[in-house]
Chain A
Amino acid sequence: MSQRLKNIVKAGSLLALASIAFGLGAARADEIVIGASLPLSGPLAGFGSFQQWGYKRAVAEVNKAGGISIGGTKQMVILIIRDDKTDPNAAASNTETLISRDHVVAMLGSCTPALVNAGALVAERAKKPLVTGCDPLEAFKSVRKWNYVWDLFFDEPELAAAQFKALAELGAQTNKKIAIWHDNGPDGQVVGGKIWPALAKDFGYEVVQNAEFPVDNTQFTSIIGEAKSKGAEVVLVDAITPQAIAIRKQMAAAGFTPKVLNIEKGAEPVQFAEALGKLSDGILVGGYWDSSLPYPGAADLSKAFESETKLTSSQHIADSYAAAQILLDAIASAGSTDPEKINAAIAKTDKTYAVGPVKFDENHTAKLPIVSLQWQGGKTVIIWPKAAKTGEFLFPLP
């Protein structure tokens, strides 16, 4: 009998465990609950950790100031973060859980088109506002006409054009032969497949090679060999960081040194330069943010990040921090936790944040202005536009 009792207790505790698993995080009435699914493990864990920091900082600042006033009473903001393991299926299911279990009033986005889309489509259907960075605007717009999802990031055509304009203004002398290498991800196809070839023509360059590769390719021998044999002096690359590092190393090992090397996307984080050492010198990359830019709180932001985490900062802390601030500002100005009212308030956003001026257009996108950065001695300097310049253009590539 007692054995049976034990078994019943055990079965009961299993059930209880299951109910805890499904029942966590019930919100209290006097709290504003927002949520985010982020890639905190898997290949994009690096981005996720920057975003997490930016989101948490914005929420902590609001709470420190007493919270947000809803219908006359100050309420604290609770941010629930879930890990999507860099898997779109998990990003979608996390977002579903945030909405249906935690009853979030609004959400913040993940990173890269695949993950942002997965969560954003759920939010859109559930009619809950979601503010995100980290999703290039053309890729974002191509999904659908958004009603509840908002994206602040760079616009691919602007990013693609920045280096051409910079090279023209800075007077880089080359044989005008361009090799374009790009991945076949959403932004790689847009930038490398369409925009760059068109711009090259406008700026009087000849495209001698246009090579596409999948985002997990590791060998670039024949691509590099072809560019070398065709005498390209300008190489434009659109690739993620691991590939960017592989490409730079394999270029050196193949004895190929063009005069200009621009690696979009992958060459932006500090880990790129750390992994490459002096090979990173002279590489150009477009950026949408730098702590030297004259926006409120920009300089403090990267200082705070570096002192808190002992890691080197990234531009991703700025758009995530701003995305969270935009959402929190919208909740405050709506004075309500009604998703429709919050959504309407987000649409009215018009303010300069640490990431720059943000105003959403009819496609729910806000363009972050682009600067041209160059790696010099393990640090990036802004070489273009003139107004923001922090260093001289190193030419040709050492």
Chain B
Amino acid sequence: MPDIGVALSTIVSGVLLGGMLALTALGLSIVLGVMRLVNLAHGDFVVVGAYVGLFFLKFTGVDPLLGLPVIALIVAALAIPLYRFLLAPLAERGPEAQMMTMFAVAIILENAFVLGFSADTRSIERDYATLPLTLGPVTVPLIYVIGFAIAVALILAVHWLISRTRFGRDLRASAADAQAAATLGIDVKRVQMLTFGLGAACAGVGGTLIGAAFQFGPSSGAAYLLNSLAIVVLGGLGNVLGTLFGGVTLGFLQSVGGLTLGDGYRDLVGMALFLLVLAFRPDGFLARRRS
């Protein structure tokens, strides 16, 4: 049994990290909810965000955390043409066509990363990314606290956007029933395009945070895709605040798994949990039972 300080530090770090990764998952979740699309390139959008953050720091010298709005816009601007020219024409063709198109985009992106930036593993080098924060017996990485705070703020902002604005109303209508929304005069394609851009922006911001906290390379995307999927399912598809709950829960349980079974079992615990929730509460942990 590890000592109490180690256990507490691990669990608090896990919860903070889970919240941070919830931001990445949020992007996947809203695209799933509105477009019924498992975006297989989502993990690569995260990597795009990390590279954008890296080069942003390199060329402007401005801290990437201050540049997050710009980074979000850049990633969204890269993603929107993908929707416009690749996904929109396939709207009537069922989920496989769009899913495979995004897979193709994923492998093209990975190849482009290798050709453009080499296969090197990289990291956004910042002092605050490697400082500990100690509070009594608990020591957690400072960057996790920063990342958690940013993620929570952004998730709340997206929640506000979706529940309080006109765009949000259109988005909810499109998610519930695209055809019905269209007959009400909602421009579903535009809503989907903006949703896709918003999803990519979330991934991009999450990517910059991940790039600072950890490391990334051309093929890092797949791991973040699966992790995001697990969070989405835990929190409930398209449920914005649920995503945060899902991230925190996953982070907590993964840490417990890591503590008791060893760090290697973290992902295993995550996946097992993912499947269990999927099997017994397919609409997410928070959802009320279907009547």
Contact = CB atoms under 8 A, between A and B. Distances in A.
B121 to A, nearest CB: 5
B119 interface: yes
Contacts of A350: none
Interface residues of A, number: 46
Interface string B159-194: 000000000000000000000000000000000000
Interface stretch (A65-73, A213-221, A299-307): A213-221
A152 interface: no
A42 B219 contact: yes
A275 interface: yes
Interface in B1-37: 2-3, 5-6, 9-10, 13-14, 17
A249 B214 contact: yes
Interface string A209-229: 001111011111111011011
A271 interface: yes
B6 A229 contact: yes
B142 interface: yes
Nearest to A214: B264
Interface residues of B, number: 48
Nearest to A277: B125
Contacts of B220: 242
Contacts of A272: 121
Interface stretch (A1-9, A197-205, A251-259): A251-259
Interface string B113-141: 01000111111010001111010000111
Contact of A216 (B9, B130, B223): B223
Interface in A234-256: 241-242, 245-246, 249-250, 252-255
Contact of B110 (A41, A228, A249): A41
26 contacts: A46-B121, A86-B219, A211-B262, A212-B264, A213-B263, A217-B266, A217-B267, A219-B266, A221-B9, A221-B14, A222-B2, A225-B5, A225-B9, A225-B10, A226-B6, A242-B121, A245-B121, A245-B123, A249-B123, A249-B213, A252-B130, A254-B132, A255-B134, A274-B120, A275-B121, A275-B125
Interface of A: 40-46, 48-49, 86, 184, 211-214, 216-223, 225-226, 228-229, 241-242, 245-246, 249-250, 252-255, 269, 271-272, 274-277, 279, 311
Interface of B: 2-3, 5-6, 9-10, 13-14, 17, 110-111, 114, 118-123, 125, 129-132, 134, 139-144, 213-220, 223, 254-255, 258-259, 262-264, 266-267
